[in-house]
Chains A and B, each alone.
Chain A
Amino acid sequence: MGRPLMVCFAIAFIVALIVALMAAAYGVAYLAEGWFEGGARLSNILFLMLLFVMVIATLLTVAERKWSAMIQDRIGPNRARIALPFLRDRALGGLPHLPADVLKMLFKEDFKPAGADRLLFNLAPILAFAPSFALFAVVPAGPTVAINGRQIPMIVASPDFGILFVFAIASLAVYGTSLAGWSSNSKLALLGGVRASSQMISYEVALGLSLVGMMIVFSTVQLPVMTDAQARYLWQAATDFDFGLPAWGIFLQPLGFVLFFAAAFAETKRAPFDVPEGESEIIGYFVEYSGMKFGMFMISEFVEVVVLSGVTAAIFFGLPLFEEHPWLFGTLLGSVFWIKVVLLCWVQLMIRWTFPRFRYDQIQALGWKRLLPVGLANVFLTGALILWDPSLRALASVGILEIATLLVLTFSRRAPERQSSLAGGTHSSSAHGALPQPAPSAGQR
């Protein structure tokens, strides 16, 4: 009885914290904008990239351990305690492990293998971390809000090239991994670096192609414009109540969503695409790194998870951004964005702990033989449907049909003849014919 209430309270606390931080972000941006022109952008860098993305990413390091434990019927980390009178006997959900891990990383010896290239060895963690961190600059985290006549945007930069910035900077991350693999002077690290670069370069193509459909649909590559365009209704209920099906990208482009998610997952180098790391075979491109340099690689992985969630939430789960919103309503909409981000992070961690690692040839086959042709077909199908019906309803109908087909396939049983061939009477009866076996009673079925 206690635990469900406690979990609900914790969830409510997180939501309240997000709302409060979002309100603070708008408030500080308002003050900074009054100080000098463009100050809101600067405060957005602090709030969105340093506060939200970094805090969620660091919390994900603990969440990965704790959530994986729950998935695998374990308890997870709960031994680190805070030595204060009321907290001594409380595990606090494993959260004290976070400062413990950070302190451990900071104070560990910074080992450098003999024969390693000094400059590149030190540069590689920065090169791996910075691009994934910079990606969030173009993601809109909330609507533009008017406070006292000042327009306060909740985005760091809104360049015309929007998504193209994401593609360009995301592909820079491969330098960090491949340089780390090469400069370590270790064969296993080199192997990991080569695997990482080949995998990431292969999936660039599918990643770019998967979003072409969305670009066609909304005739833009700017993320805020795309997000805002999804807020209108496809079909509105014929009542006074403001209710209807929004033109979310997930309904218009479910295929594009699956392709984008798979390709972006490969870009983050997490399971099932974690061949570059490959914990059980080669340790990966960062095998020679220790201390906070390894921590940079690890945190950049989680930052990539958060950024991927943010980009996905912006592209496929729209939000009204450009209408005139009062401060409070804008805060709530921004909080909805961050809740979507947290939920998508959860989905990514679930996927990471559900699926086994793909083999290297499977990864290449999936990227080049499946995602690429399907992405091309998606582009042509989307273009044709847009030409036929510019109101997007035909496209949405096809998209919902795709989702329905997927759900039917998921929930339907296998074909009965396969069942019977599995149960195969001949084999079992001849093998165990001598011993009469008790049949399961009717109640057990």
Chain B
Amino acid sequence: MAYDASQDPTKDVRERIYIPELLRGLAVTTRHFLLNLFRDRDKNTSVVDRKSASLVSTVQYPEERVTYPPGYRGLHRLVPREDGKPRCVACYMCATVCPAQCIYIEAGEYDPADPAPDSRVIEKFPTKFVIDELRCIVCGFCVEACPKDAIRMDTNQHTPSEYTRPSFVYDIPKLLKGPPVSHPSDPWFRRSGSEEPPYQPVEAHSRIGEGRSESHPVKSLPAPAAPVVRFSKGG
């Protein structure tokens, strides 16, 4: 629709004598005033879902907090195994892909003579895993790059405030948290003496049996309705 950008007020008698237009403007503000005065504010933190007649769209921050969307990239965490050690195998993929170069890893090696089962199925583990959270640009490349699902950004937290810069450098004790995750294809699930993994993954990169984490329940989407598009001449 073309808009009359000239805004020539001489055309219309209402705009020429100005007061009717003033009264209309007053009607708009008065409507807002009365609705917001007499109606309860809907405290739903999802503002677009608010149903109240009150037009106030404020979320009172410290008391009310907007929940983050499911894909929100929060603070990093190193994903633990069932036994509490990090899943990380110190492959340096995340440190390599990181565009901000904020990840520093030093790798350690399991002793092959060690009778513990770890040393027979994986060779490396991180002795140092450090993320400088001030450098991090929260791009999520490290999560994508990790072949072992060992680093995630599913904490739904911001980086908390600190008083000194060194406190923003997170090491393994600070990073290792959250629910443990295990996959059927994890090497430490191989039976001793087995050449092949006991399970065949149904689908590549599947997340079947993803530990005890139930933070992302799968919702069944409703079937999309047939799109109704009406065409018209011009328009």
Contacts and interface: CB of A to CB of B under 8 A. Distances in A.
B and A form one assembly: yes
Interface of A: 1-4, 7, 67, 70-75, 258, 350-351, 353-355, 406, 409-410, 412, 414-415, 418, 421-425, 427-429, 432-433, 436-439, 441
Given A7-B37, A258-B19, A72 B32 contact: yes
Contacts of A3: 38-40
A436 B235 contact: yes
A2 B41 CA distance: 11
A7 B12 contact: no
Contacts of A436: 231-232, 235
Nearest to B21: A410
Closest 4 CB pairs of A and B: A429-B234, A427-B2, A439-B232, A437-B235
A71 B33 contact: yes
Contacts of B17: 409
Interface of B: 1-4, 11-14, 17, 19-20, 22-26, 28-30, 32-33, 36-41, 55-58, 60, 229-235
Contacts of A438: 229-232
Given A2-B40, A406-B19, A406-B23, 6 more contacts: A3-B39, A70-B56, A71-B36, A354-B28, A439-B230, A439-B235
Nearest to B39: A3
A401 to B, nearest CB: 15
Contacts of A70: 32-33, 36-37, 56
B19 A1 contact: no
A73 B36 contact: yes
Given A350-B26, A428-B235, A437-B232, A75 B14 contact: no
Contacts of B20: 406, 409-410
A353 B2 contact: no
A1 B53 CA distance: 12
B234 A433 contact: yes
B55 A415 contact: no
Contacts of B4: 421-422
B12 A415 contact: yes
A333 to B, nearest CB: 28
Contacts of A4: 38-39
A441 B228 CA distance: 10
B26 A354 contact: yes
A210 to B, nearest CB: 14
B56 A353 contact: no
Contacts of B23: 406, 410
A191 B138 CA distance: 50
A427 B4 CA distance: 11
B11 A418 contact: yes
A439 to B, nearest CB: 4
B14 A414 contact: yes
A76 to B, nearest CB: 9
A7 B33 CA distance: 13
Contacts of B13: 409
Q: Identify which of A73, A412, A422, A433 gathers the most chain B CB atoms within 10 Å of its CB.
A: A73
B55 A428 contact: no
Contact of B24 (A353, A410, A422): A410
Contacts of B28: 354
Contacts of A410: 14, 19-20, 23-24
Contacts of A421: 4
Contacts of A353: 29
Nearest to B58: A75
Contacts of A2: 40
B27 to A, nearest CB: 8
A23 to B, nearest CB: 28
Contacts of A439: 230-232, 235
A350 B29 contact: yes
A350 B29 CA distance: 7
10 contacts: A2-B40, A70-B37, A75-B56, A406-B23, A412-B14, A414-B12, A422-B3, A429-B235, A436-B231, A437-B232
